[in-house]
Amino acid sequence: MKKKLLNLLLVLLFFCVQAFAQQKTITGKVTSADDGKPLPGVSIKIKGTPNGVITDGNGSYSIQASGGQVLVFSFISFATQEVTVKDGATINVKLGADTKSLNEVVVVGYGTQKRANLTGAVATVDTKVLQSRPITDVARGLQGVVPGLTITTATGDLGTDPKIRLRGLVGSINTGAAGAAPLILVDNVEIPSLQLINPDDIESISVLKDAASSSIYGARGAFGVILVTTKTGKRNGTNRITYSNNFAWSSPTKQLELASAADNSQASLTALQRFNPNTSSYSIIGYSVDQASIQKMRDWETQYGSQNLGPEMVQGRDFDIIGGKLYFYRSWDAGKMYLKDWTPQQSHNVGISGGSEKINYNLGLGYLGQTGVLKVNPDQFDRYNFSLGVGASPTKWLDARAKVILSSTDTKTPFIFSASQYGPYYYLYRWPANYPYGTYNGLPFRSAVTEVQQAKRDDDKNNLSRVSIGGTLKILPGFTVDADYTYTGTNEHLHQTGGNTNAYDFWSFNGTALNYTGYQSASYNKARYYSYWNTVNTGKLFGTYNKSIGDHSFKAILGSDIELNQYTSQSSERRNLLDPNFGEVNLATGDQFATSSDGHYSTLGFFGRINYAYKDKFLLELNGRKDGSSRFPVNQLYGFFPSASAGYVLSKENYMDWSKGFLSFLKVRASYGSIGSQVIGSNNFRSLLTAQNSGWILPSGNATTLTTPSALSPSLTWETIRTADLGLDARFLNDELGLTFDVYNRTTSNMIGPGVTLPSSFGAASPTRNYGELQGKGWELAIDYNHTFSGGFHFSATATLSDAQETITKFANTTLALPAPIAGLNTSYYKGMKLGEIWGFETDRLFTQNDFSGKDAAGHYIYAQGVPSQSKLESGSFYFGPGDVKYKDLNGDGVIYYGSNTVDDHGDKKIIGNSTPRYQYGLRLSADWKGFDLNVYFQGVGKRQLWASGPVVFPGFRAAEGWYSYQMNYWTPSNPNAFYPTPTDYGAAVDKWDYQPQTRYLLNMAYLRLKNLNLGYSFNKAVTRRLGIERLRVFFSGENILTFDHLGNIPIDPEVDFSQTQIDNDRAGFGRVYPYRKTYSMGLQVTF
């Protein structure tokens, strides 16, 4: 036995010695093939093993390897090389520049293309910009990343869907103030919103900007296309499991701050005295204010302001009833009572992928949970994502694929009686600081806090389900046929439950005692269900042929697609719930209402594309598409829309050899094409009769009548969007520095809009016709740089800058009327108008006593000699005086006025600004070294103005309501250099008197924001692999953490996306909306 063991040990020792004898030390030096300089930090690994080293500061290395093994040399920005170990002990390697940025395959319409061969305006997104960030949807992650792509949101509400626009905000006035959105495709199938897609599931994003690149999608892609490709497993790839999480905490970027109770009340009283100097008191929603109560407010602040008195209010100290009037003295910080300083958010993502020789798969699971700012009865947003993609090659001539995407969002908010129009945030900041947010005898007063506490729920669920199946037939070498079918179903289910709010309803104070009661509007004591269903069936069939003959390369695509879109909605409600805890229609006894609607539209398109390249130097692409849409009459059902683009790679010419020392690549390209737009309703070509209940009463009830048939335009046809684009792509310094520049002109002709105003005797509205033309011009610049320094430190930077303007070049406005000076600012168009323009007066300063020579018999100020009169701007009991706004007399006629308010006669008005964002920019800086990585991302807008005349911007909107701390800087004889004029009660009637649209109070919305800062560390793989972990990274991230703007003390986030029309329609709500937030987060990413 011992002898056998000895023999076994000798054999093992022999093999160990042999193995050791085969190992040898390989040394060498790694240099740049371009300039011969040594490269430090190059990774050298033995292929198939975890063993490896890196080069030192001189580019030298030493590694133990055996003959026949393969050394893999890799370094950022250089092409990877593999060298087999042979007899020699020295291996020197020269690494050449990695030109993968040029050879990179870019996803384009119905296929892919090498970046170097692109002739259209196509931008790609590095999906790293979406990683490790506490963003709630993909769109927010794209903000500032792609030049020409505008991402905005109106409020910070949970679940708010951002607005996406490409190369301009409108595109066609037919689309209204909302503008025309680009087509969003996920795996070549349309989805309604990027919010439904988990950022962690995305493999690539391409943005098709010009007609040449997007025309293959026809009418749906009239205003650009965003192509999203989701992840798929790799054939013969390692099975991988990935997990990532993100735990975040958010706080508002800006907060409203009410003025003190006494200061607010004094300003209100002063404003009301403007029209009646004898006013000594006023009432607001049931309680009174006079000079004595204002003093008691000051006394309360002095004596109790620093104490924590709790919520219980004491009569005589905090409020009182005197002479049948109710007075409140105590100040409250409603924001602290009502809103959280920090709110949590978390996300979790799991991915499982892999494949064999004939099959690949990818499974993705995601969850996002976001808690809102409300302290009591908090709001909540949840999103769940599921995706599964499978590919298989059962035969050599067939590749099959299938994908399922499921997404569900659930937004829960309190359903509040008094605040439902604008949300609880509006109601909270509407009233002065002495508004009672406490209790009396343990019972609450009527307030926003009370209503939220007692509110039932508003539960809004949105779901997406999508199933795609398809395959690729490899019929002949270079010839394939693709067929795909996709079913997409989206639905929304809204359930609202309302009921009484029980509180001291002092709004209806009876002059004797506080009345604790339940109050509500009948329309809110109800159960309501609303459902919306949308199904889309999409089919695609197209063939692709590739052929190369010598230096000539050809690619052709010919195909067809069809889409049927069907939608229906139902709403039912019943009032007077038996018990608000059970919000069911059959548990209510009052009036009941039910409505429904349905509709459909369909498109059919035939498309073709030819690509030609000669030596990859001369490039040509031709596209053609014939589109049919059910939204047009039979004689205008189809339209044909062609496009062409060409490119010339100058760097491949011999006459450019002189530049090879610094120029790696240079290409010029040009494109021109047209696309039809069908962004209109489905019934514009049908004469409709609408049923309605008339005022005529019959024995059976109100008579039902039909309206006059709508007038039609017999020639209604497609809007046509023509785009010309000229671009340049260049790379320098061994591909380390890159530049892309585009200048474009986009014209929307045959623009659909309202016709000329017809006399009322005609009996119907003017028919919709192809009346107008809109021209958009702009340019886009992107610069990127990446370099690896000695010691392995890698740095990269990407900068983007773009500008766009849209101008009406044809419109049926024969009077050339300007937007109305009082009723609104964006209600009419005229030829030559730049969309978003703001007309107003140029402000001089505030009037002083020296501007007037005295008063007339009625007590009105008389203008001093040489001071232009503003009497034409006066109305009612308002007359200008010291402390009011003084406008400039631009036309020199001695009178301030807006004339006929037309382009030809606008008096002293001029264009004072534009609400269109100009010079949008982004800057991303990245660095990594020895496992540490840092990403810093700045984003902003260089020029944008906004005219907003609601209570957040202007004091006195409703004088008796809440004023804000920054609005206390108003004119008085002792404060002549104030920013705001003397207090005046505007009674919610705006854009007049001191607040005519003007330069002094025009909001400058330009800003620079540190959008994201991300610091991470990836653990050494030699350590993590021992634990069965392929990759482990931890990170810290901040979002919206620093902002530089020109808004001063006005707490409006500069990103706010209220169009001028929205502001005109909702002045009271502007600025009093759900807050934007800055977010700090931490998390990890792990791959097994």
Residue 860's pLDDT band (cuts 50, 70, 90): very high
CB within 8 Å of 556: residues ≥ 6 apart: 544, 545, 608, 609, 610, 611
Residue 262 host element (H or E): helix 261-273
- First-to-final CA distance of the chain: 45
The arithmetic mean of pLDDT across residues 1056-1067, rounded, is 63
The arithmetic mean of pLDDT across residues 430-439, rounded, is 94
The tokens for 1025 are 């692999």
Single-letter amino acid code for the residue at 320:
D
pLDDT at res. 685: 66
- Residues 189, 193, 195, 196: is their CA dihedral positive or negative? negative
The tokens for 339 are 């809103």
Single-letter amino acid code for the residue at 698:
L
pLDDT above 70 for 13: no
Give dist(CA 827, CA 809) in Å, integer.
Answer: 17
The tokens for 549 are 């003959």
The tokens for 512 are 């004797």
pTM of structure: 0.84
Transcribe 506-524 into DSSP letters.
Answer: GGG--SSS--EEEE--TTT
Q: Note the pLDDT tens digit of each residue in 813-857.
A: 666 777 654 433 345 788 888 988 899 999 999 999 999 999 999
pLDDT above 70 for 754: no
Transcribe 883-943 into DSSP letters.
Answer: TSEEE--SS-SSB---TTSBSS--TT-EEEEE-S-EEEEEEEEEEEETTEEEEEEEEEEEE
The tokens for 235 are 């054939």
User: 790-824: buried (b, 16+ CB within 10 Å) or exposed (e) per residue?
Assistant: eebebebbbbbbbbbbbbbbebbbeebebbebeee
983 touches 959 (CB < 8 A): yes
Q: How many CB atoms lie within 10 A of CB 785?
A: 16
Q: Residues of the chain with pLDDT > 70: what percent?
A: 90
pLDDT above 70 for 1064: no
The arithmetic mean of pLDDT across residues 807-816, rounded, is 79
Residue 213 host element (H or E): helix 211-214
Q: Note the pLDDT tens digit of each residue in 50-104.
A: 677 888 878 889 998 888 888 988 875 577 788 888 877 889 998 876 655 555 6
Which residues is 675 bridged to in the sheet? 721
Q: Note the pLDDT tens digit of each residue in 932-961.
A: 999 999 999 999 999 887 889 889 988 899
CB within 8 Å of 227: residues ≥ 6 apart: 107, 108, 109, 185, 188, 204, 205, 206, 207, 208
Give dist(CA 645, CA 625) in Å, integer.
Answer: 15
pLDDT above 90 for 661: no
The CA–CA distances, whole Å, from 1081 to 306, 711, 737 equal 34, 57, 32
The residue with tokens 């060409």 is 646
pLDDT above 90 for 217: no
Gyration radius (Cα) of the chain, Å: 34
Give dist(CA 424, CA 414) in Å, integer.
Answer: 9
Coil/strand/helix, residue 847? coil
pLDDT at res. 642: 92
pLDDT at res. 6: 42
pLDDT at res. 843: 98
Which range is least confidently modeled, 420-429, 457-466, 482-491, 873-882? 420-429
Give dist(CA 697, CA 704) in Å, integer.
Answer: 10
Give dist(CA 716, CA 684) in Å, integer.
Answer: 8
pLDDT at res. 121: 86
Q: How many CB atoms lie within 10 A of CB 1023?
A: 10
Q: Note the pLDDT tens digit of each residue in 1005-1043.
A: 999 999 999 999 999 888 888 888 988 999 999 999 999
Residue 522's pLDDT band (cuts 50, 70, 90): low
Give dist(CA 709, CA 763) in Å, integer.
Answer: 9
694, 697, 701, 705: CA torsion to nearest 10: -30
pLDDT at res. 867: 97
954 touches 986 (CB < 8 A): yes
CB within 8 Å of 206: residues ≥ 6 apart: 106, 107, 108, 122, 123, 124, 125, 226, 227, 229
49 touches 114 (CB < 8 A): no
pLDDT at res. 853: 95
Mean pLDDT of the chain: 86
The arithmetic mean of pLDDT across residues 159-167, rounded, is 81
The arithmetic mean of pLDDT across residues 162-184, rounded, is 73
Which range is least confidently modeled, 77-86, 180-189, 426-435, 1046-1055? 77-86
* Topology of the domain comprising 22-98: Immunoglobulin-like (2.60.40)
CB within 8 Å of 872: residues ≥ 6 apart: 895, 896, 897
Coil/strand/helix, residue 496? strand
pLDDT at res. 1063: 61
The arithmetic mean of pLDDT across residues 759-773, rounded, is 75
987 touches 875 (CB < 8 A): no
The arithmetic mean of pLDDT across residues 487-501, rounded, is 92
Which range is least confidently modeled, 20-29, 259-268, 537-546, 1077-1086? 20-29
Residues, the chain: 1088
The arithmetic mean of pLDDT across residues 657-684, rounded, is 85
Transcribe 775-832 into DSSP letters.
Answer: EEEEEEEEEEEEEE-TTS-EEEEEEEEEEEEEEEEE-S-TT-BPPPTTT-SSS---TT
pLDDT at res. 10: 39
CB within 8 Å of 1085: residues ≥ 6 apart: 131, 132, 242, 243, 244, 1031, 1032, 1033, 1035
DSSP state of 880: -
The arithmetic mean of pLDDT across residues 1051-1069, rounded, is 71
614 touches 551 (CB < 8 A): yes
837 touches 997 (CB < 8 A): no
Give dist(CA 874, CA 994) in Å, integer.
Answer: 10
pLDDT at res. 975: 96
pLDDT at res. 344: 94
875 touches 892 (CB < 8 A): no
Which range is least confidently modeled, 52-61, 524-533, 912-921? 52-61
The arithmetic mean of pLDDT across residues 311-334, rounded, is 95
The CA–CA distances, whole Å, from 210 to 629, 727, 775, 801 equal 22, 11, 14, 17
The arithmetic mean of pLDDT across residues 626-643, rounded, is 85
The arithmetic mean of pLDDT across residues 707-711, rounded, is 72
377 touches 414 (CB < 8 A): yes
pLDDT at res. 791: 79
Enumerate the domain spans of the chain: 22-98
Which range is least confidently modeled, 15-29, 279-293, 756-770? 15-29
The tokens for 669 are 């390209």
The tokens for 81 are 């090389």
Q: How many CB atoms lie within 10 A of CB 980?
A: 23
DSSP state of 11: H
